[in-house]
Amino acid sequence: MSAVLDEDRSSVAPNAIDFAEAFWFWLKLGFISFGGPAGQIAIMHTELVERRRWISEKRFLHALNYCMLLPGPEAQQLAIYIGWLMHRTWGGIVAGVLFVLPSLFILIALSWIYLRFGSVPIVAAVFYSIKPAVTAVVLHAAHRIGTRALKNRWMWGIAAAAFVAIFAFDTPFPAIVAASALIGYFGARWAPSVFALGGGHGGVKHSYGPALIDDDTPTPLHARFSRNRLLKVLGIGLGIWAMAMGGLVVAQGLQGTLTQMGWFFSKAAMLTFGGAYAVLPYVYQGAVEQYHWLSGSQMIDGLALGETTPGPLIMVVAFVGFVGGWLQQVLGADTLFLGAALAATVATFFTFLPSFIFILAGGPAIEAAKGKLGFTAPLSAITAAVVGVIFNLALFFAYHVLWPQGFGGRFDTLSAVITAAAVIALFRFKVGVLPLLGTCAGIGLVVASVLELR
């Protein structure tokens, strides 16, 4: 009898979802969105397409393909898109904010623990054993993206050129992105089959019954394209950015740490093609080498913390901001935590603001272009270049982990063993990132206990 009732329910579209119900769902999603973009998108597909049927698979994939074309975290942008489609502008804002807010609070707490107790032997041992795992995770990310992006020898050539550019010539990451986009744009005219590889998400494979926003559901009035609305949203978005940046300039001056963070992370937000791993080299170049907000070793630790929290991996910028705000004493030596928390919030705000502008401004045009989205050649070339950049990042991490005092110092055999084991676990046994980091943290605790007994 219950099976019949379930079948009856799946044959009709769900009732309209009120704002409060959507709010609680987006809040829940913010706390359970582990697993990186692939895991987060899978969670949303399961919840929104299969289980709740708030949106059909075809409309879900159409929105996802647009988000794949944008710089920024595609999972969060997808949440903004669906929230906006269902409940207008405030629906998109709430969905996007709640997607990252839990992660921000968690990372602020973890960053404080890291800075206050990171030198405690047990805590230091945990981070010591996690760093080799992070090296393996970054290498695995390069492989995962490469298997999707490097479909022919031309794409391999772009990846190799990007690696040489950043490794041998220290070429700024924005220049690599710009050059790759131009290669894709002009290359698509010369050889479309080489560069127009698409977003990699395929077509619709299943039907889960009628959805609230179904394949043939008319585009709601608020989501229909209007040039005036486009200009209005762009104006408001840029105005918010200008007011926030202006406030920092007034408070700290052009050379103030918070002002520099706002400007730097605004640029970083425009370069996150291919996911968080793609922009990490740029964040490293700026935060470590240029501004000296933190060290290379601390950057690796921050990535480990980012991997263990819900939300987009690019939330590692909150750690960078917190450590930079703490060490630079942005609000004075007597308010270290408050200043660091403010810096983490500034980094997060300027990193994610463009995502809201992209979706709320561009969404209506994409809704009007259902079935016509095909401008993927520049993205394909950028993604290929990203593979080379991420491989360089993996080598950088490996260098700091295996030769902690530089090539002239000792080779860390234990770290090499943990790195090799983590690589085997990821590539051969498909172990998830969280179990891998948890296991390595446990190894660190065992090592610390053994050394203490001695």
271 within a domain of the structure (yes/no): yes
Q: CA angle, corner 145, sides to 38 and 166, nearest 5?
A: 130
Nearest CA-CA partner of 315 in 26, 36, 27, 129? 36
The H or E element that residue 249 is part of is helix 227-252
440 within a domain of the structure (yes/no): yes
Give start and end residues of each alpha helix (H) in 70-118. 74-117
- Per-position DSSP letters for 409-436, written without gaps between them: S---HHHHHHHHHHHHHHHTS---HHHH
93 within a domain of the structure (yes/no): no
Nearest CA-CA partner of 38 in 303, 205, 277? 277
Q: Show pLDDT as tens, one digit a residue, over the chain (454 residues).
A: 444 444 445 678 788 899 999 999 999 888 877 656 666 777 788 889 888 999 998 888 778 767 877 888 888 999 999 999 999 999 999 999 999 999 999 999 999 999 998 766 777 787 788 888 878 887 887 887 788 778 899 999 999 999 999 899 988 777 887 898 889 888 888 888 787 554 444 444 456 788 899 988 888 889 999 999 999 999 999 999 999 999 999 999 999 999 999 999 999 888 766 566 667 788 888 999 999 999 988 998 888 888 778 888 889 999 999 999 999 999 999 999 999 999 999 999 999 999 999 999 999 988 876 654 345 677 678 778 878 887 887 888 788 889 988 888 899 999 999 999 999 998 999 887 778 888 988 888 887 777 665 5
Burial of 286 (0-12, 13-18, 19+ CB in 10 A): buried
- In the numeric block, the tokens 């359970």 are attached to 32
Please state the pTM of the whole predicted model.
0.75
6 within a domain of the structure (yes/no): no
Q: How far apart are CA 29 and CA 35, in angstroms?
A: 12
Torsion over CA: 216, 220, 223, 229 (sign) = positive
Task: Name residues whose C-beta falls within 8 Å of residue 136's C-beta, 6 or more positions apart in sequence.
Answer: 419, 422, 423, 425, 426, 436
114 within a domain of the structure (yes/no): yes
Give residue 77's pLDDT: 93
* Token representation of residue 454: 């001695």
Cα-based distances in Å from 202 to 149, 155, 163, 199, 263 = 14, 20, 29, 8, 37
Residue 241 carries which side chain, given as an amino acid letter? W
Nearest CA-CA partner of 166 in 143, 142, 131, 188? 142
* C-beta of residue 108 within 8 angstroms of C-beta of residue 384: no
* C-beta of residue 259 within 8 angstroms of C-beta of residue 252: yes
Question: Phi and psi (nearest 5°) for 267?
Answer: -70, -40
Give residue 373's pLDDT: 38
Query: For residue 36, is it left (φ>0), alpha (ψ between -120 and 50) or beta?
Result: left
- Count of domains forming the chain: 1
Q: Could you tell me which residues are beta bridge partners of residue 55?
A: 213
Residue 289 carries which side chain, given as an amino acid letter? E
Question: Cα 160 to chain center, whole Å?
Answer: 24
* C-beta of residue 47 within 8 angstroms of C-beta of residue 29: yes
52 within a domain of the structure (yes/no): no
9 within a domain of the structure (yes/no): no
Question: Phi and psi (nearest 5°) for 213?
Answer: -110, 95
Question: Phi and psi (nearest 5°) for 55?
Answer: -150, 145
Give residue 3's pLDDT: 47
Biggest distance spanned by C-alpha atoms of the chain: 74
What Rg do the C-alpha atoms of the chain give, in angstroms? 23
Question: Phi and psi (nearest 5°) for 292?
Answer: 60, 40
* Token representation of residue 86: 């269902």
* C-beta of residue 310 within 8 angstroms of C-beta of residue 34: yes
* C-beta of residue 145 within 8 angstroms of C-beta of residue 275: yes
Give start and end residues of each alpha helix (H) in 150-223. 153-168, 173-190, 192-195
* C-beta of residue 180 within 8 angstroms of C-beta of residue 158: yes
User: Which residue segment(s) compose the domain that 417 sits in?
Assistant: 105-199+227-453
51 within a domain of the structure (yes/no): no
Q: How far apart are CA 139 and CA 43, in angstroms?
A: 24
Give residue 341's pLDDT: 97
Q: How far apart are CA 118 and CA 133, in angstroms?
A: 18
Q: Roughly what angle, to the nearest 10 degrees, separates helices 121-149 and 296-307? A: 80
- In the numeric block, the tokens 């119900």 are attached to 21
- In the numeric block, the tokens 């489609």 are attached to 85
Q: How far apart are CA 419 and CA 425, in angstroms?
A: 10
Cα-based distances in Å from 312 to 155, 255, 279, 426 = 27, 29, 13, 20
Q: Is 436 helix (H, G, I), strand (E, B) or coil?
A: helix
Q: How far apart are CA 184 and CA 162, in angstroms?
A: 14
Q: Is 219 helix (H, G, I), strand (E, B) or coil?
A: coil
